[in-house]
Amino acid sequence: MVKTKFQTVVEIPSYNRKTSYSKKNVFLGSCFTENVGNKMADLKYNVDINPFGILYNPASVANGINILLEELQIDEKELVHHNGLWHSFFHHGKFSDSDKNKTLENINSRLRFSSEYLKSTDFLFVTFGTAWIFEYKKTGEVVSNCHKIPAAEFGRRRLNPEEIENKYLQLLPKVWEQNPDCKIIFTVSPVRHWKDGAVENQRSKATLILAIDSIIRKFGTEKCNYFPSYEIMMDELRDYRFYADDMIHVSEVGIDHIWNLFEENLIDENSKFLKNRIQKIKKAFLHRPYNRVSKEYLDFLNTALKQVKELQKEFPNLNFELEKNHFKVEFDEIKKKFEQF
Question: What digits encode the pLDDT tens for the residues 288-337?
Answer: 998 888 889 999 999 999 999 999 999 998 999 999 999 999 999 988 88
Query: 245-261 in b/e burial notation, b at 16+ Cβ within 10 A?
Result: eeeebbeeebbebbbeb
Neighbours of 183 (CB within 10 A): 23
Nearest partner of 229 among 261, 204, 268, judged by Cα:
261
Q: Are 27 and 33 in contact (CB under 8 A)?
A: yes
Closest CA to 306 of 294, 324, 288, 321: 324
Residue 165 has pLDDT above 80, yes or no: yes
Mean pLDDT of 18-39: 95
CA distance 73 to 134: 22
More confident residue, 220 or 341: 220
SS3 224: strand
Bridge partners, 87 (sequence order):
80
Distance (Å, whole) CA 328 – CA 302: 8
User: Does the pLDDT value for residue 1 go beyond 70?
Assistant: no
Rounded to the nearest angstrom, the gap between the alpha carbon of residue 215 and the centroid of all alpha carbons in its chain is 21
pLDDT band per the 50, 70, 90 thresholds, residue 166: very high
Three-state DSSP state, 169:
helix
Helix axis angle for 295-314 and 321-340, nearest 10°, is 150
Q: What is the pLDDT of residues 96-150, one digit of tens each?
A: 999 999 999 999 999 999 999 999 999 999 999 999 999 999 999 999 999 999 9
pLDDT at 25: 98
Please, are residues 335 and 300 in contact by the beta-carbon 8 Å criterion?
Answer: no
Map out the domains of the chain with their CATH numbers.
24-267 (3.40.50.1110), 273-340 (no CATH)
Instruction: Using pLDDT thresholds of 50, 70 and 90, give the confidence band for residue 81.
Output: very high
Q: Which of the 8 DSSP states describes residue 55?
A: -
CB neighbourhood size of 304 (10 A): 23
pTM of this structure: 0.93
Q: What does DSSP assign to residue 317?
A: T
Q: What mean pLDDT value characterizes the chain?
A: 94
Other C-beta atoms closer than 10 Å to the C-beta of 322 total: 9
Provide the pLDDT for residue 341: 64
**313 vs 323: CA distance, rounded Å:** 15
Q: Which residues pair with 126 in a beta bridge?
A: 28, 186
C-alpha 210/C-alpha 180 separation (Å) is: 25
Please give the single-letter amino acid code of residue 178: Q
* pLDDT band of 86, cuts 50, 70, 90: very high
Closest CA to 183 of 319, 26, 10, 13: 26
Closest CA to 188 of 251, 247, 237, 129: 129
Closest to 39 measured CA to CA, from 243, 316, 229: 229
In sequence order, what are the residues at sequence separation of 6 or more whose Cβ sits closer than 8 angstroms to the Cβ of residue 263? 272
What CA–CA distance (Å, rounded) separates 20 from 134? 37
